[in-house]
Structure 1
Amino acid sequence: MALIRHKKMARVRRVLRLTVMFYAATLALVLGSNWFWPRDTAPAPAAQIICLGGAVSRGVLAEDSLMRAERCGGLLLAGHGERVILTGDGAGTLMADHLRAMGIEEARITVEPESRSTLQNALFTARITQTDAPVIVVTDAYHLLRSWVSFRLMGFDHVHLASSEAMVDRTGPMFREVSAIWFNALRLLIYTGTFWVEPAVRDALLA
């Protein structure tokens, strides 16, 4: 019995070590993106710029959403895209208002107002635009890697990335991002395995 307990404890310790290693590696990627991703480098031009909505507080764009909108508007005005898709429940509509105030023509703005997660950003945007043409995805630097994976998994063939200007100097969002990466992986497994479920219900799995 003692030998069996010893083997079980050894397996538990191995699992814990692997978990810590994977978490640390993911955190290093997130921190590295936040600190070192070039914020003043413009991507190659693309037909569509996709602006991912962030937080909204009492009907007002939070700083992360505002900086993303500023970056998207700047890229449009500089000729790096023809149109912009602003995706996110609440944030999408408010970011569109901000772009109009920057002088972006209404004809160049599309709002996707339903998505509540990065996976839904990608899924719902894929339904309203071409996925085989190059797109530029704009979000905070620490969020770029998860965004790239999400858009690629939802069928986008050519995903270029552009960071908003701000660098997050708080640790909270970094740790939440690491958790979100692994939580997204779990949700994708469930989503993939429930192909027989009604589409609206499957969509909700990614919220």
Structure 2
Amino acid sequence: MAVHLALIRPIKMRRVRRVLRLMVIFYAATLAMVLLCNWFWPRDTLPAPAAQVICLGGQSHQGVLASDSTSRAERCAELLLAGLADEILVTGSGTGTLMVDHILALGVPAEAVSLEAMSRSTLQNALFSADISDVEQPVIVVTDAYHLPRSWVSFRAMGFQDVRLSSSSSMVDRPKPLLREVSAIWFNALRLLVYSALFWVDPDIRAALMA
């Protein structure tokens, strides 16, 4: 019996090391993708025209837009004023209202801007936008470059058929948002699996799980 247990322990340790090694590999690969998007995503290239620009909410502090929210709002206004879409949908709780005000101050007509003010995550941005948009029409999603891949997956998962991407900012040189994005990608993947598995649950409860 003692010999048998002695053999089991090394096997378990090898399995643990193998799992940890895979986790490190997946994390490193995801970090590499985030960094490449942050460094090399084309900022000056305009996307193809679409039916709608969807502006993802960012951060604000004491009623003042943070730099990420400001740059997203300005990029969305730029795309609409360049004739690449007929309307802007700003999506995000709290910050969304401030972003709408900033977009209007840039000369965008009020009738061309709408607000989805309940979402608290990228997945909810996509889910609640799908409720009030024509998902069969092409859309341009605007956010920071490092956030674009996760946004694309989120909007495709929530039913949008043609998702085009536009970066709102220059390269981010702070490690915190980039490292946070790596964790968020895998956390979102887990939540999407849960969301898909709970197709029989009340839609409001499923939506709350995406916050």
Report whether the alignment pairs 1:65 with 2:65: no
Match of 2:51, SS state, is strand
The equivalent residue for 1:7 is 11
Question: How far 1:166 sits from its partner (Å)?
Answer: 2.5
The equivalent residue for 1:49 is 53
The equivalent residue for 1:25 is 29
Match of 1:206, SS state, is coil
Normalising to structure 2: TM-score of the pair? Answer: 0.96
The equivalent residue for 1:79 is 83
Larger Rg: 2
Q: 5+ residue gaps in structure 1?
A: none
Matched residues in 1 for 2:207 and 2:125: separation? 11
The equivalent residue for 2:96 is 92
The equivalent residue for 2:118 is 114
Match of 2:133, SS state, is coil
Q: 5+ residue gaps in structure 2?
A: none
**Among 157, 160, 174, the residue aligned to 1:156:** 160
CA RMSD of aligned residues (A): 0.7
Question: How far 1:160 sits from its partner (Å)?
Answer: 0.4
**Among 172, 182, 191, the residue aligned to 2:176:** 172
* Conserved 8 A contact 1:139-1:163: yes
Q: Which runs of 4+ in 1 moved over 6 A?
A: none
The equivalent residue for 2:210 is 206
Matched residues in 1 for 2:49 and 2:193: separation? 33
Question: How far 1:115 sits from its partner (Å)?
Answer: 0.3
Letter in 2 for 1:105: P
Match of 1:49, SS state, is strand
**Would you say how many aligned residue pairs link Structure 1 and Structure 2?**
207
Matched residues in 1 for 2:153 and 2:202: separation? 25
Matched residues in 2 for 1:58 and 1:195: separation? 38
Q: Deviations over 1:118-156 (max 9, x none)?
A: 000000000001000110000000000000000000000
Report whether the alignment pairs 1:137 with 2:141: yes
Matched residues in 2 for 1:107 and 1:95: separation? 15
